[in-house]
Amino acid sequence: MKSKLWLVYAIITTVFWGIWGALIEIPEKAGFPATLIYVVWSITMIPPALVAMRLIGWEFDFRKKSIIYGLAVGILGAGGQLVLFHTLAISPAYLVYPFISLSPVVTIAMSLFLLKERANKFGWIGVFLALVAIPLLSYTSPEGNGTTSNLIWVLPASIVFFAWGAQAYIIKVANNSMKAENIFFYMMLSGLLLAPVALLMTDFSADINWGFEGYGYSFFIQSLNAIGALFLVYAFRYGKAMIVSPLTNAVAPVTTVILSLIIYAVIPNLITTAGMVIAIAAALFLSLEDS
């Protein structure tokens, strides 16, 4: 059973992230900007971080290497999110999301060449299918003429792409020398440290919904993301980075699409449906990988 703990934690992550993905637009559509949602998210990281530290008897790891690893993981993740806000402000989502969704390619390459990770034939088939499914699930139909000649988005999107791919790799590396709970604690700390940047990016002259449907809904919804992130760190503790990363990135959107169908009666298009089928197949093959 211990050899499959990575799969248990990865599935829990995909469930929490899938629900989060289905609800994430509610506060923003209600008039609460994404930058303030980030600030709320950074606060929601605190409760699971405290619970995690309580589980290990408040054993804080203040070794220099652990601090560097922990902050690197947090800054790559949270910093990537802030760069994504800027990217979406200058370019259409239908171009950006499929591009950055392939960040597991970075994780797989780094794990393969630096950690010398290997997968069995089922694992490789699953990885390939996941990498096919992820951009399909991230695809959104272009509005208007659906074209753009402005490629200024490529650089910031590439930063997010490499940051999130490297983050997953470092989580795995950090798990080899420090406890997962301490990794998450530093992720929480990094998120809070970057919150002022999100505030500076906020246009306070705009009409902001300061009601409960803004910050209140955001707190509940972003808590799902935070809890999912904690279980992701646990998944990396027991599983191979080149397996865990594509699995969670491929399966979580499937949950989101299914819930969106139930809650909003949103029928997925053919591209998304194809992505769902391929992602499910990928999950089945990846679950046969012996991590």
- pLDDT, tens digit, for every residue of 20-67? 999 999 999 999 999 999 999 999 999 999 999 999 999 999 999 999
Tokens describing residue 34: 């994404």
Q: Is residue 282 part of a domain?
A: yes
pLDDT for residue 1: 46
Q: Say if CB 21 and CB 141 are below 8 A apart.
A: no
**Mean pLDDT within 107-129:** 95
Flag whether 99 is in a domain.
yes
Pick the residue with more confidence: 17 or 143? 17
| Res. 143: pLDDT tops 80 | no
Whole-angstrom distance, CA of residue 287 vs CA of residue 291: 9
Q: How large is the average pLDDT for residues 143-164? A: 78
pLDDT at position 92, please? 82
* Average pLDDT over all residues of the chain: 93
Nearest to 70 by CA among 229, 230, 178: 178
Inside any domain, residue 291:
no
Tell me what the mean pLDDT of segment 187-198 comes to. 97
Q: What is the mean pLDDT of residues 267-285?
A: 93
Rounded Cα distance between 118 and 111, Å, is 9
| Number of structural domains found in the chain | 1
Measure CA of the first residue to CA of the last residue in the chain; give whole Å.
11
Place of tokens 């910050």: 215
Burial class of 127 by CB neighbour count within 10 A (0 to 12, 13 to 18, 19+): buried
Contact in structure between 33 and 172 (CB atoms under 8 Å): no
- If you average pLDDT over residues 169-182, what whole number do you get? 97
Domain annotation covers residue 145: no
Answer whether residue 183 is part of any domain.
yes
Of 158 and 141, more confident? 158
Residue 187 has pLDDT above 60, yes or no: yes
Amino acid present at 278: I
Please count the other Cβ atoms lying within 10 Å of the Cβ belonging to residue 140: 15
The mean-pLDDT minimum among 68-77, 106-115, 132-141 falls in: 132-141
pLDDT tens track for 227-240: 999 999 999 999 99
Question: In the 3-class helix/strand/coil scheme, how is 172-188 assigned residue by residue?
Answer: HHHHCCCCHHHHHHHHH
Q: What is the pLDDT of residue 110?
A: 96
For residue 107, is it within any domain?
yes
Is 44 domain-assigned? Answer: yes
Give the C-alpha separation, 13 to 231, whole Å.
6
- Calculate what percentage of the chain has a pLDDT beyond 90: 84
Residue 76 maps to a domain: yes
The Cα-based distances of 153 to 120, 141, 150 in angstroms read 37, 18, 7
Is the pLDDT at 148 greater than 70? The verdict is no
Name which residue leads in pLDDT, 142 or 31: 31
C-beta of residue 222 within 8 angstroms of C-beta of residue 76 = no
pTM of the full structure = 0.92
Domain that holds residue 18: 2-139+150-286
Q: Alpha helix (H) ranges present in the chain?
A: 5-23, 25-29, 34-44, 46-55, 64-90, 93-100, 104-113, 121-138, 154-175, 180-193, 195-201, 212-238, 241-264, 270-286
